[in-house]
Amino acid sequence: DFIPVHDYAPDVINGIRQAVHTNSDYAAFQIANNFDIINYFDLQPEKKQKIKEVIQQFGFCARDLQAKESIDRYKILKDDIIPNFVTEKFSTVGKQYSAAMDKFLTHRIFGYLFFLIILFIIFQSVFNLSSYPMEWIQMLFSSLGNWVKDIMPAGLISDLLANGIIAGLSGIAVFIPQIAILFTFIAILEDTGYMARVSFLMDKPLRGFGLNGKSIIPLMSGVACAVPAIMSTRTIQNKKERLLTIMVTPLMSCSARIPVYTLLIALVVPKQDVFGFISLQALVLMLLYLTGFVSALIAAWVFKMILKSKERSYYIMEMPVYRMPRWNNILITIFGKVRIFLFDAGKIIISVSIILWVLASFGPGDQFKKIEEKYATKEVIANFSKTEISRHIRSEKIEASYAGHFGHFIEPVIRPLGFDWKIGISLLTSFAAREVFVGTMATIYSVGDSENDVQSVREKMQAEIIPSTGRLRYSVATGFSLMLFYAFAMQCMSTVAVVKRETSTWKWPLIQIAYMSGLAYLISLIVYQVFGP
């Protein structure tokens, strides 16, 4: 009762306190303000009627008096209470420092330039800082696979462990350093207060595409994961802008795409520098992320033309002062994100790897037996070494397996994109989660390996040739066609589920799947047909 609400409407408050028992004038004031919607008082009809008559008799205006009460309450808090209990240290210096930095970081020209420089540093670091840890993890899993084959007798169990489970998990674990580096930079940008500036900076250009400045936070968060990014659109008050943001956020390249991108970039992009200091591979990775951002803007503009709304849009956001990142929070964030990425993806990958190992290790009828008989003839033994015969047997067995038959069934649909039956299997399994692509390829290329021949999936894919032409299977055109397919395709069931939950209908997620899958197929088709052999 430190606000003199009795003075606002004494007759109304006195009348209500006579009608019902209240603990204070403030309680009576709140009854008057909310009389039309109160449902938690078990009031007798005559008391309700008495309150209604008092409110009408004295012309009580709830809206005006609620506003006056709020202003007075905050004035007392600010002038009388907070100064007695809160001490601000260096607040003026901090605000002056932030204002000085904002003159550059939110500048209409230099602000965008600085943002692009930050993005380039992030993607350069993702490749350069992670190279050695990735090699160590790869060597660890390779040694683990060889160790399993050495200590266990040859057979189905040994093959399942080494070429199914370990090969599948290695395809994901090797990318943990890159995921950790990406999340580190995102956490630092958020903790320092810079992400709020990015939101302010992008408000004006985003409005032309039907979005507002707050949309950039879900879009940037989509670089980590589309699921929490879509949930964060709840801060966007305008319904149309929120729906547009939800519809285009999955086009942002999330962390699950990094294993696919880095594997394919390593296959088709040479490891060299541009201008002596810019990594070509990092530059391609950055261009893929920018492609996702640009395509999200174009898609938003198209949806803006289709969806109509009379609701007015506005942008309000508090600018925090700049501060040093809190490293404890950042480390906890990185650990949590990597753990979720590894274990959530790991459950799917183990399941998919076991299923794929079964499908790739067995085939219909006696086709495997016929392949072995084909290479057991004296003529073949005389003309080829044991290593070459073993490699041919492995290759033909995979193609004759259940997985091979399924891949050949869908191959006519994806052949115009430059994809073969092996890629087709990986495309289908990765609809559970994009990162499963690498685990699937690792499982397919590891099935049937000899005991002392455990290579990385990248080396095996790099060495594969097309028997009919003698050309490399993964040409530059095929690599970029596949990268762009993953850049646009809606291959994440978790994202579909959260879109359905946030929009409360299956309409929008189904539209999302249709337009993104169609866009992915069209772009990949154009790239391969124009630049392919």
C-alpha span between 97 and 111 (Å, rounded): 17
H-helix or E-strand spanning residue 273: strand 273-274
Q: What pLDDT is attached to residue 344?
A: 64
Classify residue 324 by burial, with Cβ atoms within 10 Å: 0-12, 13-18, 19+. Answer: exposed
Handedness of CA 315, 318, 320, 321 (dihedral sign): positive
C-alpha span between 341 and 255 (Å, rounded): 9
Q: What pLDDT is attached to residue 349?
A: 63
- Which ranges of the chain have pLDDT less than 70? 1, 37-43, 88-95, 127, 163-164, 167-168, 171-172, 175, 341, 344-349, 352-353, 391, 394-395, 432-433, 439, 443-444, 446-457, 467
C-alpha span between 304 and 353 (Å, rounded): 42
Q: What pLDDT is attached to residue 450?
A: 45
CA angle at 299 for the pair 293 and 300, rounded to the nearest 5°: 90
C-alpha span between 486 and 492 (Å, rounded): 11
C-alpha span between 312 and 301 (Å, rounded): 17
Q: What pLDDT is attached to residue 453?
A: 42
Q: What pLDDT is attached to residue 248?
A: 92
C-alpha span between 44 and 515 (Å, rounded): 58
Q: Where are the alpha helices (DSSP H) in 20-130?
A: 25-33, 45-57, 62-76, 82-85, 91-105, 110-128
The number of residues in the chain equals: 533
Q: What pLDDT is attached to residue 43?
A: 67
The answer to whether 230 and 307 have CB atoms below 8 angstroms apart is no
* Cα R_g (the chain), whole angstroms: 31
Transcribe 321-376 into DSSP letters: PP----HHHHHHHHHHHHHHHHHHHHHHHHHHHHHHHHHHH--STTHHHHHHHHTT
Q: At residue 365, what are phi and psi to the nearest 5 degrees?
A: 65, -145
- Chain CA centroid to CA 284, Å: 19
Question: Pseudo-torsion of CA 268, 290, 503, 500, nearest 10°?
Answer: 10
Tokens of 122: 């992030």
Q: Provide the β-strand partners of residue 274.
A: 278
pLDDT tens for residues 61-84?
888 888 888 899 899 888 888 888
275 phi-psi bin (left φ>0, alpha ψ -120 to 50, beta other): left
Q: What pLDDT is attached to residue 452?
A: 39
Q: What pLDDT is attached to residue 286?
A: 85
To the nearest 10 degrees (0 to 180), the angle between helices 280-306 and 239-248 is 140
C-alpha span between 162 and 157 (Å, rounded): 9
Tokens of 318: 């508090």
